[in-house]
């Protein structure tokens, strides 16, 4: 059994072998469950935003979609929505 020491303000350091094995990184957030008798269970709390953004990034990479592709499509959609909402301003006000 491995041991850890609780420091001021209740902090403790997980052994580097444990952090490497489970990919624990600084700043991550964990939930815990009190199992009683001084035992607790730690569970990584994963942000749903992170999960979704990783899924989107993976899908874009698989489909070979670049940032330039996204920006171009965004610009096209913006122009399309503007025209739907406000009409074709160039036709209404000739130069």
Contact 53, 60 (CB under 8 A): no
pLDDT at 92: 58
Containing 39, the helix (H) or strand (E) segment is: strand 39-44
From CA 73, how far away is CA 69, in angstroms rounded?
A: 6
For position 9, what pLDDT does the model report? 92
pLDDT of residue 17 exceeding 80: yes
* pLDDT score of 95 more than 60: no
Per domain, the residue ranges of the chain are 8-44, 48-92
Residues 2-16: what's their mean pLDDT?
A: 90
Q: First-to-last CA distance in the chain?
A: 81
pLDDT tens sequence across 36-94: 998 999 888 878 888 888 899 999 999 999 999 999 999 999 999 999 999 887 665 66
């Amino acid at each position: 059994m491995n041991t850890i020491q609780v420091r001021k303000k209740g902090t403790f350091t997980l052994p580097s072998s444990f952090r490497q094995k489970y990919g624990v990184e600084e700043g991550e957030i964990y939930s815990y469950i009190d199992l009683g008798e001084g035992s607790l269970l730690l569970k990584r709390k994963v942000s749903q935003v992170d999960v979704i953004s990783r899924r989107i990034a993976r899908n874009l990479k698989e489909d070979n979609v670049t940032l330039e592709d996204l920006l171009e499509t965004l610009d096209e959609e913006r122009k399309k929505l503007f025209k739907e909402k406000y009409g074709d301003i160039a036709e209404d006000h000739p130069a």
